[in-house]
Chains A and B, each alone.
Chain A
Amino acid sequence: MIADRVSLELRNSLSELDTLGQILQQFGEELGLANKTLFQICLAMEEIVSNIISYGYTDDDVHWIKIALSYDKGIITIRLEDDGIPFNPLWAQEPDCECPLEKRKVGKLGIHLCKKVMDDMIYERFGNKNVLTLRKDIKDS
Protein backbone atom coordinates (compact mmCIF):
# COMPACT_ATOMS: atom_id res chain seq x y z
CA MET A 1 0.00 0.00 0.00
CA ILE A 2 1.23 3.48 -0.81
CA ALA A 3 1.67 5.79 2.17
CA ASP A 4 -0.13 8.90 0.93
CA ARG A 5 -0.03 10.59 4.30
CA VAL A 6 3.09 11.22 6.38
CA SER A 7 3.52 13.23 9.60
CA LEU A 8 6.75 14.18 11.28
CA GLU A 9 8.21 16.55 13.81
CA LEU A 10 11.59 18.24 13.48
CA ARG A 11 13.65 19.97 16.14
CA ASN A 12 14.81 23.53 15.46
CA SER A 13 18.25 22.43 14.32
CA LEU A 14 19.58 22.61 10.76
CA SER A 15 20.87 19.02 11.06
CA GLU A 16 17.19 17.97 10.97
CA LEU A 17 17.10 18.95 7.30
CA ASP A 18 18.81 15.64 6.47
CA THR A 19 15.98 13.74 8.15
CA LEU A 20 13.46 15.85 6.26
CA GLY A 21 15.25 15.15 2.97
CA GLN A 22 15.22 11.40 3.58
CA ILE A 23 11.50 11.35 4.43
CA LEU A 24 10.63 13.45 1.38
CA GLN A 25 12.72 11.15 -0.82
CA GLN A 26 10.84 8.11 0.47
CA PHE A 27 7.46 9.84 0.13
CA GLY A 28 8.33 10.87 -3.44
CA GLU A 29 9.54 7.42 -4.42
CA GLU A 30 6.42 5.74 -3.09
CA LEU A 31 4.25 8.12 -5.08
CA GLY A 32 6.48 7.67 -8.14
CA LEU A 33 7.12 11.41 -8.43
CA ALA A 34 9.24 12.72 -11.30
CA ASN A 35 12.76 13.81 -10.25
CA LYS A 36 11.95 17.43 -10.99
CA THR A 37 8.76 17.43 -8.90
CA LEU A 38 10.47 15.78 -5.96
CA PHE A 39 13.36 18.23 -6.24
CA GLN A 40 10.97 21.21 -6.18
CA ILE A 41 9.15 19.89 -3.12
CA CYS A 42 12.45 19.27 -1.30
CA LEU A 43 13.62 22.76 -2.25
CA ALA A 44 10.43 24.47 -1.03
CA MET A 45 10.54 22.56 2.24
CA GLU A 46 14.21 23.29 2.90
CA GLU A 47 13.67 27.00 2.29
CA ILE A 48 10.72 27.25 4.65
CA VAL A 49 12.11 24.99 7.40
CA SER A 50 15.60 26.52 7.36
CA ASN A 51 13.98 29.95 7.58
CA ILE A 52 11.93 28.93 10.64
CA ILE A 53 15.00 27.38 12.30
CA SER A 54 17.30 30.32 11.54
CA TYR A 55 14.96 33.24 12.21
CA GLY A 56 11.86 31.93 13.98
CA TYR A 57 13.02 31.77 17.58
CA THR A 58 14.23 34.37 20.01
CA ASP A 59 15.29 31.90 22.75
CA ASP A 60 17.70 28.95 22.83
CA ASP A 61 15.06 26.38 23.76
CA VAL A 62 14.20 23.27 21.79
CA HIS A 63 11.14 23.82 19.58
CA TRP A 64 9.31 21.41 17.35
CA ILE A 65 8.13 21.99 13.81
CA LYS A 66 5.19 19.80 12.86
CA ILE A 67 4.95 18.73 9.24
CA ALA A 68 2.18 16.80 7.51
CA LEU A 69 2.45 15.63 3.91
CA SER A 70 -0.49 14.24 2.02
CA TYR A 71 -1.44 13.28 -1.49
CA ASP A 72 -4.94 13.33 -2.91
CA LYS A 73 -6.25 13.46 -6.48
CA GLY A 74 -3.06 14.70 -8.07
CA ILE A 75 -2.31 17.35 -5.43
CA ILE A 76 0.41 17.19 -2.80
CA THR A 77 -0.39 19.24 0.29
CA ILE A 78 2.19 20.12 2.91
CA ARG A 79 1.21 21.68 6.22
CA LEU A 80 3.89 23.19 8.46
CA GLU A 81 3.20 24.36 11.98
CA ASP A 82 5.70 26.14 14.23
CA ASP A 83 5.59 28.16 17.43
CA GLY A 84 8.13 30.74 16.30
CA ILE A 85 7.60 34.48 16.05
CA PRO A 86 4.69 35.48 13.78
CA PHE A 87 5.97 35.40 10.22
CA ASN A 88 3.93 35.49 7.04
CA PRO A 89 6.26 34.51 4.18
CA LEU A 90 3.75 35.86 1.67
CA TRP A 91 4.59 39.33 2.95
CA ALA A 92 8.34 38.81 2.62
CA GLN A 93 10.00 41.35 0.39
CA GLU A 94 10.66 40.03 -3.12
CA PRO A 95 14.33 40.02 -4.10
CA ASP A 96 15.29 42.22 -7.03
CA CYS A 97 16.16 39.62 -9.66
CA GLU A 98 17.00 42.15 -12.37
CA CYS A 99 19.87 44.19 -10.96
CA PRO A 100 23.52 43.60 -11.95
CA LEU A 101 25.99 41.44 -10.05
CA GLU A 102 27.54 44.26 -8.00
CA LYS A 103 24.14 45.23 -6.59
CA ARG A 104 22.57 41.81 -6.13
CA LYS A 105 21.89 41.10 -2.48
CA VAL A 106 23.13 37.86 -1.01
CA GLY A 107 20.00 36.37 0.51
CA LYS A 108 16.19 36.69 0.50
CA LEU A 109 15.95 34.16 -2.30
CA GLY A 110 14.59 31.20 -0.38
CA ILE A 111 10.95 32.24 -0.02
CA HIS A 112 10.91 33.54 -3.58
CA LEU A 113 12.06 30.11 -4.85
CA CYS A 114 9.46 28.36 -2.69
CA LYS A 115 6.63 30.53 -4.05
CA LYS A 116 7.71 29.90 -7.62
CA VAL A 117 8.07 26.12 -7.46
CA MET A 118 4.83 25.51 -5.53
CA ASP A 119 1.35 26.17 -6.90
CA ASP A 120 -0.23 27.58 -3.78
CA MET A 121 0.90 28.97 -0.43
CA ILE A 122 -1.47 29.93 2.41
CA TYR A 123 -0.44 31.45 5.73
CA GLU A 124 -2.55 31.41 8.89
CA ARG A 125 -1.86 32.32 12.50
CA PHE A 126 -3.60 30.27 15.18
CA GLY A 127 -2.83 31.40 18.75
CA ASN A 128 0.97 31.20 19.04
CA LYS A 129 1.36 29.04 15.91
CA ASN A 130 2.33 29.87 12.35
CA VAL A 131 0.61 27.49 9.95
CA LEU A 132 1.76 27.41 6.37
CA THR A 133 0.05 25.25 3.77
CA LEU A 134 1.81 24.54 0.48
CA ARG A 135 0.25 22.80 -2.48
CA LYS A 136 1.76 21.28 -5.59
CA ASP A 137 -0.30 20.05 -8.50
CA ILE A 138 1.46 17.00 -9.95
CA LYS A 139 -1.20 15.91 -12.44
CA ASP A 140 0.85 16.99 -15.45
CA SER A 141 4.25 15.88 -14.21
Chain B
Amino acid sequence: MEVFEKRQDGICILGLLGRLDSNTSPEFEKKIFEVIDDGTKSVVVDFASLDYISSAGLRVLLKAAKELKRSEGKIVLCSMKDYIKEVFEIAGFVSLFPITSSVGDAVKEF
Protein backbone atom coordinates (compact mmCIF):
# COMPACT_ATOMS: atom_id res chain seq x y z
CA MET B 1 0.00 0.00 0.00
CA GLU B 2 1.08 3.57 -0.63
CA VAL B 3 -0.13 6.81 0.93
CA PHE B 4 0.12 10.07 -1.05
CA GLU B 5 -0.12 13.32 0.85
CA LYS B 6 -1.34 16.60 -0.61
CA ARG B 7 -2.16 19.93 1.03
CA GLN B 8 -4.88 22.24 -0.18
CA ASP B 9 -6.08 25.33 1.74
CA GLY B 10 -5.04 23.89 5.10
CA ILE B 11 -6.68 20.54 4.35
CA CYS B 12 -4.53 17.43 4.25
CA ILE B 13 -5.59 14.97 1.54
CA LEU B 14 -4.29 11.42 1.99
CA GLY B 15 -4.67 9.26 -1.11
CA LEU B 16 -4.55 5.51 -0.55
CA LEU B 17 -3.26 3.11 -3.18
CA GLY B 18 -3.62 -0.67 -2.91
CA ARG B 19 -4.81 -2.59 0.14
CA LEU B 20 -5.60 -1.49 3.68
CA ASP B 21 -5.37 -4.79 5.56
CA SER B 22 -3.87 -6.30 8.73
CA ASN B 23 -0.37 -5.95 7.31
CA THR B 24 -0.57 -2.47 5.81
CA SER B 25 -2.81 -0.71 8.37
CA PRO B 26 0.02 -0.01 10.87
CA GLU B 27 1.82 2.01 8.17
CA PHE B 28 -1.32 4.04 7.44
CA GLU B 29 -1.92 4.52 11.17
CA LYS B 30 1.58 5.94 11.55
CA LYS B 31 1.05 8.32 8.61
CA ILE B 32 -2.36 9.66 9.60
CA PHE B 33 -1.30 10.16 13.23
CA GLU B 34 1.80 12.06 12.10
CA VAL B 35 -0.53 14.40 10.23
CA ILE B 36 -2.89 14.78 13.22
CA ASP B 37 -0.03 15.19 15.70
CA ASP B 38 1.36 17.99 13.52
CA GLY B 39 -1.80 19.93 14.29
CA THR B 40 -3.78 19.30 11.12
CA LYS B 41 -7.50 19.59 11.88
CA SER B 42 -8.96 18.86 8.44
CA VAL B 43 -8.22 15.50 6.84
CA VAL B 44 -9.59 13.96 3.65
CA VAL B 45 -8.90 10.30 2.89
CA ASP B 46 -9.23 9.59 -0.82
CA PHE B 47 -10.25 5.96 -1.52
CA ALA B 48 -10.23 6.23 -5.34
CA SER B 49 -7.25 3.89 -5.76
CA LEU B 50 -7.97 1.66 -2.77
CA ASP B 51 -8.99 -1.86 -3.78
CA TYR B 52 -9.40 -3.52 -0.41
CA ILE B 53 -10.15 -2.73 3.21
CA SER B 54 -10.64 -4.98 6.26
CA SER B 55 -11.52 -4.30 9.90
CA ALA B 56 -7.86 -3.45 10.54
CA GLY B 57 -8.24 -0.45 8.22
CA LEU B 58 -11.60 0.54 9.70
CA ARG B 59 -10.00 0.47 13.14
CA VAL B 60 -7.35 3.04 12.12
CA LEU B 61 -9.96 5.35 10.59
CA LEU B 62 -12.12 5.14 13.72
CA LYS B 63 -9.14 5.90 15.95
CA ALA B 64 -8.19 8.87 13.77
CA ALA B 65 -11.78 10.19 13.74
CA LYS B 66 -11.94 10.00 17.54
CA GLU B 67 -8.63 11.83 17.88
CA LEU B 68 -9.68 14.56 15.44
CA LYS B 69 -13.01 14.99 17.21
CA ARG B 70 -11.15 15.58 20.49
CA SER B 71 -9.11 18.34 18.85
CA GLU B 72 -12.23 19.78 17.16
CA GLY B 73 -11.01 18.61 13.78
CA LYS B 74 -12.76 16.52 11.17
CA ILE B 75 -12.13 13.66 8.76
CA VAL B 76 -13.98 13.20 5.46
CA LEU B 77 -13.74 10.11 3.25
CA CYS B 78 -14.29 10.12 -0.49
CA SER B 79 -14.40 8.23 -3.80
CA MET B 80 -15.08 4.74 -2.44
CA LYS B 81 -15.80 1.78 -4.67
CA ASP B 82 -19.33 0.45 -4.08
CA TYR B 83 -18.18 -2.78 -2.45
CA ILE B 84 -15.98 -0.84 -0.02
CA LYS B 85 -18.84 1.54 0.81
CA GLU B 86 -20.91 -1.53 1.66
CA VAL B 87 -18.35 -2.52 4.32
CA PHE B 88 -18.77 0.93 5.90
CA GLU B 89 -22.54 0.37 5.89
CA ILE B 90 -22.28 -3.10 7.48
CA ALA B 91 -19.92 -1.73 10.14
CA GLY B 92 -22.30 1.15 10.90
CA PHE B 93 -19.56 3.62 9.93
CA VAL B 94 -21.64 5.70 7.48
CA SER B 95 -23.14 7.60 10.41
CA LEU B 96 -19.66 8.31 11.83
CA PHE B 97 -17.94 9.64 8.70
CA PRO B 98 -19.02 12.10 6.04
CA ILE B 99 -18.49 10.18 2.78
CA THR B 100 -18.49 12.04 -0.53
CA SER B 101 -18.16 10.91 -4.12
CA SER B 102 -15.17 13.09 -5.03
CA VAL B 103 -12.22 14.96 -3.49
CA GLY B 104 -13.82 18.19 -4.70
CA ASP B 105 -16.98 17.49 -2.69
CA ALA B 106 -14.95 16.30 0.32
CA VAL B 107 -13.07 19.62 0.50
CA LYS B 108 -16.40 21.50 0.57
CA GLU B 109 -17.32 19.68 3.81
CA PHE B 110 -14.93 21.89 5.82
- Please state if A39 and B52 are interface contacts (CB–CB under 8 Å): yes
Within 8 A of B (CB), among A32-73: 35-36, 39-40, 42-43, 46-47, 50
Closest residue on chain B to residue A34 by CB atoms:
B83
> Which size bracket describes the interface of A in this complex?
20 to 34
Q: Which of A36, A40, A101 contacts B66 (CB 8 A)?
A: A101
Contact (Cβ within 8 A) B52 A104 = no
- B residues in contact with A95, CB < 8 Å: 91-92
Residues in chain A near residue B52, CB distance under 8 A: 39, 42-43
Query: Which B residues fall within an 8 A CB radius of A?
Result: 19, 21-23, 51-52, 54-56, 58-59, 62-63, 65-66, 69, 82-84, 86-87, 90-92, 95-96
Closest-CB distance, A115 to chain B (whole angstroms)? 9
Smallest distance from the beta carbon of A95 to chain B beta carbons, Å?
8
**Residue A106 is within 8 A (CB to CB) of chain B in the complex:** yes
Tally of contacts, chain A with chain B, CB under 8 A: 68
- Chain B: interface secondary structure? helix
Give chain A's interface residues, CB within 8 Å of chain B.
Answer: 14-15, 17-18, 21, 35-36, 39-40, 42-43, 46-47, 50, 95, 97-98, 100-102, 104, 106-107, 109-110, 112-113, 116-117
Residues of B within 8 A of A36 (CB): 82-83, 86
Additional A-B contacts beyond A36-B86, A106-B66, A113-B91 (19; CB < 8 A) = A17-B22, A36-B83, A39-B52, A39-B83, A40-B83, A43-B52, A46-B54, A47-B55, A50-B22, A95-B91, A98-B92, A101-B65, A106-B59, A107-B59, A109-B55, A109-B58, A110-B54, A112-B91, A113-B54
